[in-house]
Amino acid sequence: MTRPLAAVTGATGFLGAHLVRALHQAGFAVRALARRDPSAPGWGDEAPEVIPGTLDDEAALARLVDGAEVVVHAAGAIKAANHQAFMAVNRDGTARLAGLAGGARFLLVSSLAARHPEVSAYAVSKRAGEDAAAGLIAPERLTIVRPPAIYGPGDRETLAIFKAAAASPLLPVLSGDARLALVHVEDAAAAVAGLAQAGAPGVWALADERPAGYGWREILAAAAEAVGRRPALPDTPAWLLPGLCRLGAAAGLVSPAKVGELLHKDWSVARHELAPDVPSPRFGLKEGFASSVAWYRQAGWLR
């Protein structure tokens, strides 16, 4: 029996590497766009057909989507030099691909940040990407997925938290009342693959077993436990918080584009926002952080 074809962008990225395997397990044949060495550790034995190219290359995009039942657009910029650079990838790249999708279903992996475009240039660009897709794809063929912060094996963004927890005698709690939904990368990939299979149109969020999210104190305590440490967790005075976030950006612990997102209070997910007909999350916070640390140590990223 011939497998339906899923055309995927971002397949060599953090989420995308896991997504290729999840789509294969969901019954798809996978064709992937790749701009560099077409190999990713998350692919396992299910290496996809590879189309060399980038989101700027319309000929490559046309080859990518030819005959696809669903286009899964997971590529995007999470770091960029300026607003225009974010837009060039997250808005214009999305529009270029959506314009070539033909009659295929289109699944855009956006971000929960798109819910609040006012907080950062990244958030603005992700919302603009959603708007671009909505302007080109019929509503019944368009699914937009908004993951919260994704972490897990292979993630370099949250690695800084574990490094700080392993090395520092104290971890300042950024905010006492902020709430952050999280999702493990394997759960995120399984959910996206499930939506690709189900074809559920609409705008949906992802989260782990606690969509209402976690406070910073709980997140930092879990990170410390995962690395076998017990640092002090002092509260950060509200007046000091913006400066501390910008200091972290200057030190390379977070990207400058993420400062506004770190200062935002509500990254929780309401139950009605959650994607339907997807596998239940397998990882809670403690289990997910433990799997991350085990991978980081095996890979030599963390002592």
CB burial of residue 252 (10 Å; 0-12, 13-18, 19+) = exposed
User: Would you say 202 and 133 are in contact if contact means Cβ atoms under 8 Å apart?
Assistant: no
53 φ/ψ sector (left φ>0, alpha ψ -120 to 50, else beta): left
Tell me the pTM: 0.91
The predicted model gives 11-25 an average pLDDT of 93
The residue type found at 52 is P
**Residue 99 CA neighbour count, 13 Å, CB half:** 13
Q: Is the pLDDT of residue 289 over 60?
A: yes
10 φ/ψ sector (left φ>0, alpha ψ -120 to 50, else beta): left
Q: What is the pLDDT of residue 245?
A: 61
The predicted model gives 132-139 an average pLDDT of 97
Distance CA(34)–CA(62), nearest Å, equals 14
Q: What is the pLDDT of residue 238?
A: 64
Which is nearest to 116 in space by CA: 106, 125, 107, 105? 125
The predicted model gives 99-119 an average pLDDT of 95
Cβ neighbours of 138 (radius 10 Å)? 11
What superfamily in CATH does domain 5-155+182-212+268-282 come from? NAD(P)-binding Rossmann-like Domain (3.40.50.720)
Domains of the chain, by residue range, sit at 5-155+182-212+268-282
